[in-house]
Amino acid sequence: DQCLELQLFYRDCEQADTWMSAREAFLAQEDSSGDNVESLIKKHEDFDKAINTQEEKIKGLRLFAESLIKNNHYDSPAVTRKRDQILERWNGLKDALIQKRSKLGESQTLQQFSRDADEIENWMTEKFQIAQEENYRDPTNIQQKHQKQQAFEAELHANSDRIAAIIQAGNNLIENAKCGGGEAAVSARLKALNDQWDLLVKTTTEKSYRLKEANKQKSFMAAVKDLEFWLGEVEILLNSEDYGKDLASVENLLKKHSLLEADIVAHQDR
């Protein structure tokens, strides 16, 4: 009976060793920085489930070994050594799983930062092309251009928190040493993002000022044109040699003259 029990014990140990060998090979994979991080994380979730299932088998193996030892099996020392070896390997496997999951999490976070940085860089490049347009040089529809520029500024302001969040995420990666050894690259990326954002804001501010000034100039010129037209009308009235032919026409001219004087006073305030 003891021989049979020993054979059964070693059979269970061999199965456990085979199972752990396959999982150790999986954990030894170094490709945690490629495009398949999401896939590896999914495999780790499946691995967790398998670990939980295997935990019961390892527990059963341990209890089997302890039963053999307790019953004074003739090869108890060998059973003890094998049990300890299996349990040590099992605990090492679980520790390795935790470490690998942590590294994958870091890689996933780093990749997310990289994707977010790519997206915001492309967005800023697109907006910079618009900010560089010198449409303020053409006074045509300058008011509409100024209004459009105000909307553009509002869009930049609305995205400032998004920029700040990405930069903060990058700083967190560096501070917590979660860059997989690429702290210098992340730091350089953050500087590039900051510089690009500062240039975009500066260029937009300058363009807004120029459009505002161009809009004011056009409004001024329009006001001057209106005033010149009005002065021309006034001069025509003042140069008129019509002094009235009778009382009614004279009173009518006096009324028009009073209105003209009031109009002149009103224009002085403009």
DSSP notation for 155-197: HHHHHHHHHHHHHHHHHHHHHTT-STT-HHHHHHHHHHHHHHH
Task: Give percent of the chain with pLDDT exceeding 90.
Answer: 41
Residues 166 and 187 in one domain: yes
DSSP assignment letter at 71: T
Mean pLDDT of 125-152: 88
Question: What is the pLDDT confidence band of residue 244, given thresholds at 50, 70 and 90?
Answer: low
pLDDT grade for 229, boundaries at 50, 70 and 90: confident
The answer to whether position 124 is within a domain reads no
Range of the domain at 63: 1-108
- Tell me, yes or no, whether 85 and 175 share the same domain: no
Work out how many domains the chain is built from and give that number. 3
What share of residues in the chain are helix, strand, coil (percent, to 5)?
85, 0, 15
- Is residue 118's pLDDT more than 90? yes
For 58-115, how does the pLDDT look when each residue is reduced to its tens digit (9 = 90+)? 999 999 999 999 988 888 999 999 999 999 999 999 998 888 877 777 777 888 888 9
Q: Distance (Å, rounded) from C-alpha 207 to C-alpha 92?
A: 63
| Distance from chain centroid for Cα 68 | 60
What is the pLDDT, as a whole number, of residue 216?
82
Q: Write the CATH number for 73.
A: 1.20.58.60
* Residue 153, both tokens: 């500024």
Question: Which of 198 and 37 is assigned the larger pLDDT?
Answer: 198
Assigned token pair, 114? 């990289």
Mean pLDDT, to the nearest integer, of 192-204?
96
- Given a contact cutoff of 8 angstroms between Cβ atoms, the answer to whether 201 and 157 are in contact is no
- State residue 43 phi and psi, 5-degree precision: -65, -35
Mean pLDDT, the chain, whole residue set: 84
Is the distance from CB of 83 to CB of 73 less than 8 angstroms?
no
| Residue from 24, 56, 29, 55 nearest 41 by CA | 29
Residue 180 burial (CB < 10 Å; 0-12/13-18/19+)? middle
My answer on whether 21 and 99 are in the same domain is: yes
Looking at the structure, tell me whether residues 99 and 168 fall in a common domain: no
| 168, 208: one domain | yes
Q: Evaluate whether residue 119 is within a structural domain.
A: no
Spatial contact of 224 and 254, defined as CB atoms under 8 Å apart: no
pLDDT the model gives residue 36: 67
For the record, the structure tokens of 55 come out as 């935990």
Same domain as 230, residue 141: yes
**Given a cut of 70, is residue 250 above it in pLDDT?**
no
